[in-house]
Structure 1
Amino acid sequence: MATGSNRVRLTAGRVDAFACPPDRAQAFLWDTEAPALMLRATPSGRKTYAFEGRLKGATIRVNIGTAADWTLDKARKRAAELKQMIDSGTDPREVERQKAAEAAAAKAEQAAKALTVGDLWPSYIANGKPKRREAWKPRYLADLQKMAAAGGEKKKRGTGLTRPGPIFPLLAKPLAEINEDTLKVWHDREAKAGKHQAARALMMFRGFLRWCAGQREYRDLVDSDAGRAPAILDTLPSIGESRRTDALESAQVAGWWSGVMQLANPVASAYLRTLLLTGARREEVAALKWEHIDFRWCKVTLADKVGDTRTIPLSAYLAWLLGSLPRKSEYVFASVSKSGRLTDPRSSHQTALKSAGIDHLTIHGLRRSFALLGEAAGAPAGAIAQVQGHRPSATAEGYKPRSIDALRPYVEQITSHVLSLAGVKFEPVDEPGTLRVVA
């Protein structure tokens, strides 16, 4: 116990009256009601409550707070809590250090999440040069700077002011909020002004995301795959005429189907077959959740590109196929990616194409294949278009929307035709959930 200390039952009056003698550096007044509680006074008039106890043979002292901020009752209660910690073998100082560390980490995390693309873009320009190169190519560096320029400057040629670069709108966004959805909205907006310029800006911004992912302090904030989301890639300008007309020929269906069935990833295999049997857009199927499937009435609701949603019949085979998938998450086609669902099936599709000996077929080509195979199966163009989610005015038939029951025979007709070409014999049985496929 420190010099100049004594023990009494502390009261509000004694706390107020207690003072440190002018010839001493400090004085202590111990409480008899809470023996581990002390009141410390200094010549300046400052009075502080503190706790003192012994832990593992050593004396430890923990500051509680000033008498101006803490009432006597609260100080006693806090001293009792600290004593309980020590009695259980816990060092209160270590607990406080841990809390401080957690608070600092939380504050740092919050600050990191507030970092915007604009905060990091100058660092990327300064340090993001490609590997194995001493510096950016001058032309590419100029393009990077132009893409992110704020605009509003007088044009060097002609009259008027320059418009902001395509990347400029992204600079104000927090890095942690850059994802597939924000990039899709941004790219679609920029593509209205110039689709090729928007595509080039996307490629450049993907380089920025890769650089961020390579920095230890930013990698947890960035989704480096956001710029490669199918919803965005499918809207990029096509390269070559074949990308707009590719589709499976009837004679290729069996080989394609066999290649897909041999994929090591059963989720990717089911996903690709679902695309062919529904004619849906790749992102519509990838975003499919279990809650969107009605196995009882055999129908499925898709997030439509044209409208909010559309509901189509679920063929008996497709109900069996989807029902056989494990329910690992809310998504039907689940994966371990950040989004929790299948995002880029192209590598799996390429493996299947190689196995089948098919030189070229895009994922979107499966959508065209559904339309062509549906016509070969004898389904009306309007029914095919409605299942695929085309606007009525976009088809030659100018169809009137059919009910689910009216569409169902045509969906089964198309599915049967595809399975026949694939060499698959499907045998549904009476009891729901026990459908089976006989190869």
Structure 2
Amino acid sequence: MADSVSYGARERIAMKIELTMPLIKRLKIDSKPVATDPSGALIFEPNPSGRDYIVYDASQEAPPGFGVRIAKKKTFVIRRKVNGKSIMPTVGNVADFMTSDGKGPLTLARAKAAAMALQMVGTGKNPNAEARKTAASELTVGQAFSRHREHLRTRTQRPATAETLRVVDRAIRKFVGWGWANRRVKDLTPEEIETKFKEGQDAHPTANEQAFRWALAAVRWCIGMEELDAASANRDPLLRANPFMILILGRMFRSRDQVEKTRVEQNKRNPLTPTKTLGEFLEVAWSRKDVNDNETGVHYLMLMLLWGCRKSEHAPCQWGELLTADARKLASHVMLDDDVYGPHVFFHGTKNGSNHRLPIGPMALQLLRRRQASGAEEAVRRGFGSKSRTFVFPARSRQSKTGHYNDASALLDSLRDEAGIDRLARHDLRRSFGALMAAIDVPPGIRSRFFNHADASVTDTYTKAEWALLREWMERIEQSILAKAPNVYNSLKPTAWPMLDAPVPHVSRPAKPRTGRPRKISVPVDERQ
């Protein structure tokens, strides 16, 4: 039963009652218990200030001072007064105790709180603060990566995208492979970091620099957090120096000009040339769409070229008409008809953190209408409830985790070989878009908007005149690209436009025989022997 509390003292005295998990689940920040009625039921009053409050546990199984703090998150706490000083560390989030090994959450929380209380009485110190001190002095490279990654994932301002987290994970795997994940940061010497860095520069300099930059950032963030903890605890920081700073002080990372020079020398950037390879690539791709179920992949690559986008931007696009107005604000989508913008594509949460809206030209629009028709046939085969139905580029496999097409590497390599092009990567399609913009003198401001190179704070809302100008240039770029492949141009152009003189359509190579285990052929029961 709760302690007797007069109404005038409700604001000064914390509530104490035997805690149960159903009771803890009932407690909310917008109201708080202040007393009990004659039958023993709790009396709640509004908590308009939203200030957190504590309900202490009156159970005989609970150590004195054990309770639950109700705030945005519910946490167990334990309070002790040692040498005249009140100490109240957090035992843990209530949710963390819900997944127990058969013991009740309250049983586990009370046991942990009792152990912490003994430690407080014995040392006179907050055990959580002591644990943070120990953690800072014993911080390993792997722990620094893990904490920084969680910060990147959960931060409010520009949380890391899935692609960024994959890059961080690749960096972590490098340090695990070197046996450095369990090395304490304070034990690393600048000399060995410099030696390890130089070892990786010969084979894969870009990946090597990226891994060490992430390590530098992770340790720097952990040092900043330790400085805050030390200041709040009125002590000196236990981790001050970042050994990875030797790479900055020694100017060991390549400059942007050096990186660009290396890429040119090694033919790392190979946009399609408007005078030769652009047309050949498009003609080969257009003929391949009818071979071996490659239509989705060919459309995926062609729109990547026509929009100059990154693969992470257009791959998850959905049909806007299948989404609610609120859902369209939070998802990349294509609108073939729109009263405000007309046909357009909307990329949500792009690399620079902003949303990006592009007008769709008439020939890309025709291609998308064909995509939608193919999608309708696919929905009939797979069912209208299939996960892939809403996507512009549905996954080929029904077991796909994302539901959308994502990797055209093998198809692109095959098209490149058939077109007789030496080198071509997916990002080269974006570069080809940029090269074409430069060739037809697209104004720098328009180029920046199409490439989404503007600051993330720049809005994707336009006046009618601005949008009309963007649409005009998008149509000119689209015509300039597809005119290099007359057969493609003639197939997608509006009917009122004149035909271009076109060569004999390219005949794609026949599909290669399927390798691996032969497909199973079901035999009717009455024909089996």
Give the TM-score range, shorter chain. Answer: 0.3 to 0.5
TM-score normalised by structure 2 residue count: 0.39
User: Structure 1 length as normaliser, TM-score?
Assistant: 0.46
